[in-house]
Every structure is written in structure tokens, then in C-alpha cells.
Amino acid sequence: MLALNSVSRRYGDTVALDRLSVAVPADSYVSVLGASGSGKTTLLRIIAGFEEPDAGTVTLDDKRLDGVPPHRRDIGFVFQNFALFPHLSVGDNIAYGLLYREHAPVTDAAEIAQRVNDIIRLVGLEGLASRKVSAISGGQRQRVALARTLVTEPRIVLLDEPLGALDANLRERMCDELRDIRQRLKVTFLHVTGSETEALLMGDIVAVLSRGTIAQFAPAATLFAEPRSADVARHLNAYNILSGTMESGRFRSPAAAFPLPAPSSARDGTPVEVALRFDRINVRPASSGGDAALRARFITSEFTGSSVLSFFRMEDGQLVQVVSHLSGPMPETYAKGEVYSLAFDPAETVPFFERAA
């Protein structure tokens, strides 16, 4: 198990990691979801040993890693830009780590050839061993970068936004392949990404990195259904966040008033934020009203292929997003500038009493 305990890292006045603690189980695929600048790459670099924490400890199977040189940590790193040697062939790129590593380099040509051929078959690069990496596709270069890491048999593989340089169709295929490869090797993958879709798809467990710490660490399905804070819900890009206060046990704001899904002992005037999923809203004529409904003016819709995302703006200026999945009946079309009633079931909302800063 990989464990970070109260790890902090600063760059001048900028706090990249703030007393971050997390335990990554062995034989797992963990996604780390965070916005740009949230400290994702810093986290990986500290685990890999490219940087040292200002405070805190990093351990692997109860052995301290902080202070240990990167090449002695038994950790693989797949870089976002692949970092391959363009003048070398696919096979030579993969063999490089075996030949030139400081600790226990492999010098037997037959063993190198066997291990390189085995890993080439594993990642689906058969027939390309002699090809220059400059002459293969982006998806194939991604596999070479992964193979070069896996051939050294690390205990943990760190992936720094490994799909970011690939087109959409290739990303989908590589998602399946990465999960399959990890499952066959039984090695832990720690995969950082800024895409909530990728994080939820790839990770058995998802860690949301926010403000330099882990805001939530949970199975993907649990995280999506039960975000721990409004900040986590915002990272998922699937929830509208409504801000208001408690009044007689109900949520109240200038735009809406409705009961919360469970009774609350919060006093009147207590700030509360409520997360409302995009796909849990029904768009109705403005005259229909209802106890749990938001009056909002339609702005525009976007077709995403599998769904339609519609944008509405309330009188206070807040944007509300509504998703209609195309697996069901075709969604209605709305008149631009027209006011609608956005109705929902209060039982499906998620309240937070510690407002995000």
C-alpha cells in the first residue's frame, strides 16, 4: 500500500499540497481528479521522487520513500508527453530502462529480448519493435511509453494525464486497454486527470484533489452519487450548486424554497449549499410552478451526441444546466429567451452545511 501522511509542498507563496494524506490500496486503479493547478502533477512527482515534500512522509508497504532517489523507489512514471527517444526504435525505447537503470541492469541479450517481446504482446505492439517511434501513431507511442515503464516491473505505475495527447476516439479505446493491462499485471495504477468523465470511467477509486488536499476518496459510483462537499460536486461537472440559508427546516434563497431530503437541526440563517444534478431537472411551462422549482430563462442548448445540454439563467444571474439523455424520448425544444419552470424532487438533492470558500 502506498501512503502519504500530511504531505505539504510550497513554491514560494503558492501552496501546491497542504498536509495531504491518502492511502492507495495495492492492486487498484486510482484516479486523481483535479482542476489545472490543483497539484496533481506535484503529487505524482513527490511520489516518484522527482521532488521532495517540505513536510510529511511517503511510504510504500510501510517503508519510507521520501529521501530515496527515484531510481530506487520501484515506481514507474508515464509522462504526459510520453518522453520517448525519437532516434530509437520501439524495441530499443522499451529496453532502455532495463539496460541503463543504475540498480540491477539487465545485460543478458536473450533476457532483454524475451522481456521486450512479452511486453510488446501485452500492450498490442506486435510487428512494430523495429519501427522508429517517430513513424508510429499517437496511440502507439502511448503504448510504447507504458511498455517502457511496465517492462521494469514496478510496484506502482504513475500516469500523468496519459490520454491528454490523444484524440477522443483513441482515448476511449486506450481507457479500456489500460484497465485491462492493469488487471492482468495486478499492479497499482495512479492516474491523474482533469477530466471528470475519464476519472470516473478509469478509477475503481477516485480521489478529488482540491486546494492542495484530498477532498474525497471513494469508489467512483459512491463519489458521483454522494459528493461530500459542494467543491467535490463542482469537480464532477454534473451538479448545479444552489446557495441559500436554512429557514424553518427548509432551504431558502431568492430563487427557490423547498424541503431538504432529510430533517436538519441547523438553525435558521445557517448557510447551506445544495447540489442538484443536471439530469434530475424537468423543464415545464412557467405557469406550472410547484414547490420545488426554479424560474429561469432559456439561453441555448448543446448537442453532445448522447445527450442535449440546455442552459438556463435565473433572475439572480446564476446559470442552471439541464441534461436530457437521448436514450429516452427526444427532448423538447425551448424558445430562446422564454421563462420556464425547472422542477425537481427535493429528495434527490444533496445539501452541504459547510459552504465552500
Check: pTM over 0.85? Answer yes or no.
Answer: yes
Q: What percent of the chain has pLDDT over 90?
A: 71
pLDDT at 325 over 90: no
pLDDT digits (tens, 9 = 90+) for 161-192: 888 767 777 777 788 888 998 998 899 999 99
The CA–CA distances, whole Å, from 141 to 114, 189, 310 equal 21, 19, 38
How would you classify residue 111: left for phi > 0, otherwise alpha for psi between -120 and 50, otherwise beta? alpha
Is the model's pLDDT at 82 over the cut of 90? no
More confident residue, 160 or 103: 160
100 vs 54, higher pLDDT = 54
Asked whether residue 355 carries a pLDDT value surpassing 70, the answer given is: no
Hunting for cell 482515448 — which residue is that? 171
pLDDT at residue 356 greater than cutoff 50? no
Summary mean pLDDT of the chain:
91
pLDDT at 290 (0 to 100) = 67
Tell whether the model's pLDDT for residue 354 goes beyond 90. no
More confident position, 268 or 7:
7
CA distances from 308 to 223, 234, 300, 348 (A): 24, 20, 10, 21
Reported as a single tens digit per residue, the pLDDT across 287-319 is 886 678 999 999 999 998 888 999 999 998 999
Q: What is the pLDDT of residues 211-269, one digit of tens each?
A: 999 999 999 999 999 999 999 999 999 999 999 999 988 999 988 899 988 877 788 99
C-alpha 165: how far from chain center: 16
What is the rounded average pLDDT of the residues 329-341? 89
Return the pLDDT at 289: 63
Widest CA span of the chain, in angstroms?
80
In order of start, what are the domains of the chain with their CATH numbers? 2-225 (3.40.50.300), 238-352 (2.40.50.140)
Distance CA 296, CA 302 (A): 17
pLDDT higher than threshold 50 for residue 357: no
Average pLDDT rounded to a whole number, residues 196-222: 95
Long-range contacts of 245-251 (CB under 8 A, 24+ apart): 245/269, 245/270, 245/271, 245/272, 246/270, 246/272, 251/346, 251/349, 251/351
